[in-house]
Amino acid sequence: MTTARAIRLTEFGNPDVMRLETVDVPPPAAGEVQLRQTAMGFNYIDVYQRMGRYPLPSPTGLGFEAAGVVEAVGAGVTDLKPGDRVVYMNAGGVGAYADRRNVPADKVVVIPAGISDEDAAAVFFKAMTAQFLVRKTYAVQPGDIVVVHAAAGGVGQILSRWAKALGATVIGTAGSAAKCEAARAAGCDVAVDYTQADWVEQVIAATGGRKARVVYDSVAKDTFLGSLDCTAPFGMVVLFGAASGPAPMIEPEILNKKGCLFLTRPSVFPHNADTATFRANAKDVFDAMASGAVRAAIGARFRLDQVADAHRAAEARSQAGAIVILP
């Protein structure tokens, strides 16, 4: 038996409900590996769960994503060995905010040489999200006009650069002039500040009046109705998050009135439910990193004992790029 420093919650609410505790870690069970975690990824879903908006049992850990080094393998694990560097995005549920953890071996992938643990932790969950969005939910084609909301954020930057690499014209939105600059640096052809009242008109103007084939909307409450207006006839609105709060209720008939639109609300986990698909999608992500279509853009680093500050920074929308948590 060894121990770990891990974030634990017994109640849900503001960032101070996250407590750093020392917990016991048993030897890895059959099918598990024990990781010494070297970098943890922050994802906005961590905020929804900490707030109680996405319910968790209590007490609970938090965090979906981390990179680390295999220190021990359980019975039956033959494809990993001590010393391997690995990353995961959902190793049997939350609990990634920790410096040591046992996880199912089939939920991790080896990090290719040339990609640091920090970059892997910063990118993996977010790039796996961008992967299904550009490949499966709407397969982006050369010449498509694509709108990406929160384009300066973690997923937003990756999604914008990947859609651009696939040959799309990418129009990003973001919450300030500085973030619009970050969105342009991440591959957006045009960036619109969606805190301005006329952001929908600006986006439509940027499309030359043609509107978008697909709008990727992770902001929801503040953007969803505008997203419907930015979408071309027969185009798709992809609602995949709710950073500003849940989207307003709509009558299905509105999709007809706005141009026979398609609306979907997908999630990364069902897209990676079986090991073979997960590993193939991970390879697609690492290939995209090698080609430059996906890049790690780390906006801030926090230590595990500063995780409340990491959440506060995310909720304050104070910086662009991904947040990484270090042990």
Ligand X SMILES: NC(=O)c1ccc[n+]([C@@H]2O[C@H](COP(=O)([O-])OP(=O)(O)OC[C@H]3O[C@@H](n4cnc5c(N)ncnc54)[C@H](OP(=O)(O)O)[C@@H]3O)[C@@H](O)[C@H]2O)c1
* Nearest-approach distance from CB 253 to ligand X, in angstroms: 26
For ligand X, the binding residues in 37-56 under the rule CB under 6 A are: 43-45
Reduced to 3 DSSP states, what percent helix, strand and coil does the chain have, rounded to the nearest 5?
Answer: 35, 30, 40
Contact 138, 236 (CB under 8 A): yes
Side chain identity at residue 115, one-letter code: I
Residues in the chain, total: 327
174 binds ligand X (CB under 6 A): yes
For ligand X, the binding residues in 198-237 under the rule CB under 6 A are: 218-219, 222
239 binds ligand X (CB under 6 A): no
* Nearest-approach distance from CB 155 to ligand X, in angstroms: 4
- Picking from 129, 131, 116, the residue whose alpha carbon sits closest to that of residue 39 is 116
Between 124 and 163, how does the x/- string for binding to ligand X read (CB under 6 A)? --x--x--------------------x-xxxxx-------
Distance CA(253)–CA(235), nearest Å, equals 15
Closer CB to ligand X, 226 or 241, in the complex: 241
Closer CB to ligand X, 38 or 129, in the complex: 129
Question: Looking at the DSSP assignment, which residues form a beta bridge with residue 40?
Answer: 66, 325
DSSP letters for 16-63: GG-EEEEEEEPPP-TTEEEEEEEEEE--HHHHHHHHTSS---SSB---
For ligand X, the binding residues in 64-83 under the rule CB under 6 A are: none
193 binds ligand X (CB under 6 A): no
Between 289 and 318, how does the x/- string for binding to ligand X read (CB under 6 A)? -------------------------xx-x-
- Picking from 96, 91, 120, 98, the residue whose alpha carbon sits closest to that of residue 33 is 91
Can you tell me which of 9, 171, 243, 325 binds ligand X, judged by CB under 6 A? 243
Side chain identity at residue 121, one-letter code: A
SS3 label, residue 300: strand
The residues, any chain, with a CB within 8 Å of residue 71's CB and separated by 6 or more, are 34, 35, 36, 82, 100
Closer CB to ligand X, 37 or 137, in the complex: 137
- Give the interface segment with ligand X, choosing from 1-9, 69-77, 240-248, 249-257 (CB under 6 A): 240-248
* Nearest-approach distance from CB 79 to ligand X, in angstroms: 26
* Nearest-approach distance from CB 265 to ligand X, in angstroms: 8
Size of the site for ligand X (CB under 6 A): 26
Which residues of the chain form contacts with ligand X (CB under 6 A)?
A: 43-45, 126, 129, 150, 152-156, 174-175, 179, 218-219, 222, 240-241, 243-244, 267-268, 314-315, 317
